[in-house]
Amino acid sequence: MGNFEPVIVAFCCHYCAYTAADMAGSMRLSYPSNVKIVRVPCTGKVDTKHILQAFHKGADGVYVAGCLEGDCHFKNGNIKAARRVARVKKLLSEIGIEEERVEMITMSAGMGERFAQTATDITEKIRNLGPNPVKNIRDGQKQPA
Amino acid sequence: MITAERKPMEEILECINPYNRILLVGCNECVTVCAAGGRKEVGLLSTALQMAFMKEGRTLEVKEITLERQCDPEYVEELITYIDQVEAVLSMACGCGVQEIARRYATKPVFPAVNTKFMGASERQGVWSERCRGCGDCLLGLTGGICPIARCSKRLMNGPCGGSTKGKCEISPDVDCAWNLIWERLKALGLEKKYEEIMVAKDWRPSWHGGPRRIIREDMAE
Amino acid sequence: MKTDSVVEKVLKSGQLVVTSECGPPRGANPDKVREKAEMLRGYVDGVNVTDNQTAMVRMSSLSACIIIKQMGMDPILQMVCRDRNRLAMQSEVLGAYAHGINTMLCLSGDHIHFGDHPMATNVYDLDSVQAIQMVKKMRDEGKFQGGADIDTPPKMFIGAAANPFADPFELRVARLAKKVKAGVDFIQTQCIYNMEKFETWMKGVCERGLHKQVAILPGITPMKTVGMAKYMKNRVPGMDVPDEIVKRMGGVPKEQQAEEGMKIAVEQIQRLREVEGVAGFHIMAIEWEQKVPELVERAGLLPRPKF
């Protein structure tokens, strides 16, 4: 598992996490290149299906990064997203995949440091969990012992 | 509407375990409204099942289709194009839809992916509750529009039992006491006197106790 | 006289009726029934035999009633609508009467949810009001609920339950009126601890003249411990235990609580026997049957009339 580089998909809200990612960049804070950002107008637009599809296509981890509670530009998109993440967690565990592979994170646009730290932490966590068991099959590799 | 809830994944996986190619059929009617078996749920279940198979080193081919109404022969007929390409059918419709597929495609195994629950109404976003048991002899006109057959835990027809507490049923504080609702409603209508009329023993023949039921409209039936 | 029931005879004689109860065992040993019933001999006019009480399986009420009848005592057959449909209910009424059991109680029954078989079906073909109507029709018209004639109709003295404390309170007199209209002869109430509320209910009952049509027997349950008082107050649906009772039970040392509970029960009987419309008492000493004779004696309800 030594050379395993996880693929992480981060659905980032345009109004907070995506801007925070920019901020991290301009602050010259480095974060792992494993994190692939998908910009969304609001985390409320992220459907359960999108998250599950990311895993199906081989992502090792997914997180949804939205605004702090009470700060959603669309009132409660972030609350809805958090519930959908919880639903995906349940679905994953039902098919025997670690539910820790998906998380809901909140931050404000100014939290460049938090963005970088979250990206690093989650990458590390997924690295420890190992590859998405579904991906291994897809790539025709053997499951690591 | 008829409400339903997805079965546990484990049970669904056990049903389809012998197969590699399945047809996953949703329904655009009630189960779509109660978020159990519409197009979206079909997509989600399809992905989850494929992932579960991949995890075991297998592949599952899923043909997804959501019919306008799975309880109507004319729509179930649409499956004819795909039925020979699959080994089994997994239905996300209520029990009526599952049975319609079983009736039409005699040699194709069909499995339910949802548990059909009850005839209910939407209480608020994401919450549905039972309203009707289909007793075949509606008495809502006598009870202020609230059904004691469907909503009283003991199906009492002549008032609340001794367990009614602060408007709630003795079986759970989450369940309204139907007779409390009826009484409040009769009061609001100024029909308190109505409560004192005894409802005599119900004739259950028009209900499920009379055997499987059928409706025939002479002017329409062919 | 509608029946040969001792309860009816006592009522007719103008004296206070005293009934108590015996919960059948969770097993097939008839001696358990005999032991419990024997304690009550000579102290009560009728012994209620519960019917799968709290939805837990027990020896059938009818069988235990027969055992008690064979002891020369007077059982009261309790019958819940939860466990049988109208066919089974009527056949049991016939069977009971064939064994000389002439007093019964028509109940809805505790919901299956509370018992040891929560996975079973609830029957509720009838509710308690409809069950009263059915037994009355069997007795007075000699007809089954379905309309056919009965050869040798069962002459049952018909009882039912009432809970004056359940919600909505304002409906509780009307609920009783419905049972009276259905043809009930006597009522045993839920355990009474809140005297004021019971008296308010009784006032409503008397205002409508219902006390002249039905005999009302308030339920009396002596408390064993303060723990029991708290449990009844907080956990039993439809039970009204005022704070004073809990305080009073808690105010004496543990070893004197049982005696305090007995004192309270005696005082309750003494107060309630003065209330207009009260026709007797139903003493439910839960798992404490041996105390019934003492309570009946201390409350001044002895000797029981003989017929």
Would you call C82 and B154 a contact, using CB atoms and an 8 Å cutoff? yes
Would you call C181 and B196 a contact, using CB atoms and an 8 Å cutoff? yes
Q: C201 pLDDT band (50/70/90 cuts)?
A: very high
Q: Is residue C307 part of a domain?
A: no
pLDDT in tens, C274-306: 999 999 999 999 889 999 999 999 999 999 999
pLDDT in tens, C204-244: 999 999 999 999 999 999 999 999 999 999 988 788 999 99
Classify domain A8-138 by CATH architecture. 3-Layer(aba) Sandwich (3.40)
Domain range summary for chain A, segments of one domain joined by +: 8-138
Q: Measured between beta carbons, which residues in chain B are less than 8 angstroms from residue A134?
A: 51, 54-55
Number of domains in chain C: 1
pLDDT reported for residue C307? 86
Q: Is residue C232 part of a domain?
A: yes
* Residues B102/B110, Cβ–Cβ less than 8 Å: yes
Q: Is residue C117 part of a domain?
A: yes
Q: Which two three-digit tokens encode residue B129?
A: 């509750």
Give the domain CATH number at C283. 3.20.20.220
Q: Is residue C127 part of a domain?
A: yes
Question: E-assigned strands of chain B?
Answer: 2-6, 21-27, 61-67, 88-91, 110-112, 114-124, 127-132, 168-169, 172-176
pLDDT reported for residue C286? 86
**Interface residue B51 vs chain A (CB under 8 A):** yes
Size of interface B-C (CB pairs under 8 A): 104
pLDDT reported for residue A3? 80
The fraction of chain C above a pLDDT of 70, given in percent, is: 100
Would you call B44 and A95 a contact, using CB atoms and an 8 Å cutoff? no
- Helices (H) and strands (E) in chain B — how many of each? 9, 9
Domain of residue C80, residue span: 6-298
Residue to mutate among A55, A89, A93, A95, with most B CBs inside 10 A, is A95
pLDDT in tens, C142-194: 999 999 999 999 999 999 999 999 989 999 999 999 999 999 999 999 999 99
**Interface residue C238 vs chain B (CB under 8 A):** yes
Q: Is residue C304 part of a domain?
A: no
Domains and CATH numbers, chain B: 2-118 (3.40.50.2300), 133-208 (no CATH)
Q: Is residue C40 part of a domain?
A: yes
What ipTM goes with this model?
0.92
Q: Is residue C303 part of a domain?
A: no
pLDDT in tens, C92-147: 999 999 999 999 999 999 999 999 999 999 999 999 999 999 999 999 999 999 99
pLDDT reported for residue B204? 97
State mean pLDDT over C26-41: 97
pLDDT in tens, A8-67: 999 999 999 999 999 999 999 999 999 999 999 999 999 999 999 999 999 999 999 999
Instruction: Give the CB-side neighbour count of residue C121, counting CA atoms within 13 A.
Output: 5
**Å between A31 CA and nearest CA of chain B:** 30
